[in-house]
Chains A and B, each alone.
Chain A
């Protein structure tokens, strides 16, 4: 292999500007800003939190993996692990299913109505999550709860939406579904639009009814997109912070805490920053795995 120096030296006048201009290096210059951003916002904080997680509470002493070990011994930590997985699995499942259903409905609407409804259904997604979570807090919150008002009007009994463990979990998951479904919908709508009409016509002539066309044409044609969106959403949902923080603050009794809010709780509210960092780092294997599957899927699509 030739070294870079030898390549440079072979040029007639190896001026620095010339190297800058050469095609060979142009690509590196173009990705440099992104590279700096990633190092500054991802790599550095990650390494720093790795370092931080191995200090004691006052950050004066190196304690190795003690923070991680301690966490594994806490019942609360395992409760949070369970919460996070439950929250993610249920929310992602419903977001994907509802998103697909909505996309199918929208796609079958006449074109004029389609544009309107597509815009309307994007509202939850384009609203800042913190703001819409506040809105949902008003919906659930015990003293002015809108749902309870409706329930009472219909002759039912009010429910403790945010203070009962079961209903609190339902509330956070519903809010997350409400926020995340439009993303799936818009992705699936784009996916549906890219399926050639003639495939459906061929299937129709082959004898496929509506259900069979969905089963044998739509689903397989969307399968890669479904895999990628589900994995991507898994990452985002698993690392959710805003909704739980605003609706329940992890309560009642830690039953709605996720990794993100629990890390905040321990690191900032309880003041044990290193241990909070350790909580956050426990997310890494899960997110890393999801990212691996996404990248593999994309790479396979490109071959």
Chain B
């Protein structure tokens, strides 16, 4: 149970700057997710918190204690590795008891805590087995068990679900969230999977090239991405981006994308006074584009025409790839759509949900 604070932390590997000037406050009991593409420095950040990697610059505090010079064992943390890192020659029980044994805890206490942790995770029957006799999901649970036995004040997870199959991943996601509620401990969780981040995190940190792009709750980063990178990274399928020009006419502010025009709702347009006649990137999520036949409302200047390229039925919804002029848009439409490849279709965009970004800086233009 502790806060974690990183102050201007940097890490260089030779000439490679893996983490740059990273400042972050993780509140007590937070489920913080470090999210970003491969190689952006998530693991390095986590490993610096764990003490497995020295910081090049900056300070790290765990529970108000400066830990820069403390070895991992004195940082009151536990870590779950991507490959689980279970000791292959020890049984599940010995794996879980190892940390306590090294700390010379009494036998009865070790036994009680191992069994408690095993019960929480439902692995009581596995205690006498060796790791190689376990399935991937069971190993994962043991790795988590080994961490919770120690009752640390901060849990560190490095992509713990990436070696599991899709179905098990969904299940473990729910279990980890439940565990977080049960243990009420600070968790710092690294992943490159935005679905994991959105479903489990109470706060998400999006990183790119060793730098923080945005910090916020899952809904904040989904609804108000600060730049094109975050907007494209969060959400699946990814947001559509259309280069366009802002044009002021008598009836309002229009987005001119060449072969189609969209009318910005007045509430958004009001915030744009100084930006008229500028080149922007218009972002719209697939879930905010509907087949016209099923759209609940079709305000003026919200409809575009295109040719259907691909139809991907997923049962509960259908993904369409639609070409309109030089742009290809992904739309997530009603499953009853009659769209067929190579046929014309009319789509309605929810213009209230349009995001605008400056083309030069890629930064969000605030319209809320």
Taking beta carbons and an 8 Å cutoff, which residues of A are in contact with B? 196, 198-199, 201-208, 212, 216-217, 220-221, 223
Contacts and interface: CB of A to CB of B under 8 A. Distances in A.
A283 B83 CA distance: 47
B52 interface: yes
Interface stretch (B55-63, B96-104, B107-115, B171-179): B96-104
B81 interface: yes
B102 A198 contact: no
B79 interface: yes
Given A207-B73, A207-B99, A216 B87 contact: yes
A277 B248 CA distance: 108
A220 B73 contact: no
B87 A199 contact: yes
Contact of B85 (A199, A208, A212): A199
A220 B95 CA distance: 13
Given A199-B87, A202-B81, A221-B88, A208 B52 contact: no
B89 A206 contact: no
Interface in B13-62: 50-52
Contacts of B81: 198, 201-202
B72 interface: yes
A208 B102 contact: yes
Q: Which of B50, B99, B150 counts the most A-chain CB atoms under 10 A from its CB?
A: B99
Nearest to A205: B72
Number of chain B interface residues as a range: 20 to 34
6 contacts: A196-B85, A201-B81, A206-B99, A207-B73, A208-B73, A216-B98
A195 to B, nearest CB: 10
Interface of B: 50-52, 71-73, 77-79, 81-83, 85-90, 98-99, 102-103, 146, 150
A205 B78 contact: yes
Given A204-B52, A206-B99, A207-B73, A220 B89 contact: yes
Contacts of A223: 89
A131 B72 CA distance: 51
B73 A198 contact: no
Contacts of A199: 85, 87
Contact of A221 (B85, B89, B99, B102): B89
Contacts of B77: 205
A198 B98 contact: no
A204 B71 contact: yes
A204 B79 CA distance: 10
B46 to A, nearest CB: 11
A222 to B, nearest CB: 10
Nearest to B147: A205
B83 A196 contact: yes
Nearest to B99: A206
Contact of A212 (B71, B102, B150): B102
Contact of B79 (A202, A212, A221): A202
Contact of B73 (A196, A204, A216): A204
Contacts of A201: 50, 52, 72, 79, 81, 85
A202 B102 CA distance: 13
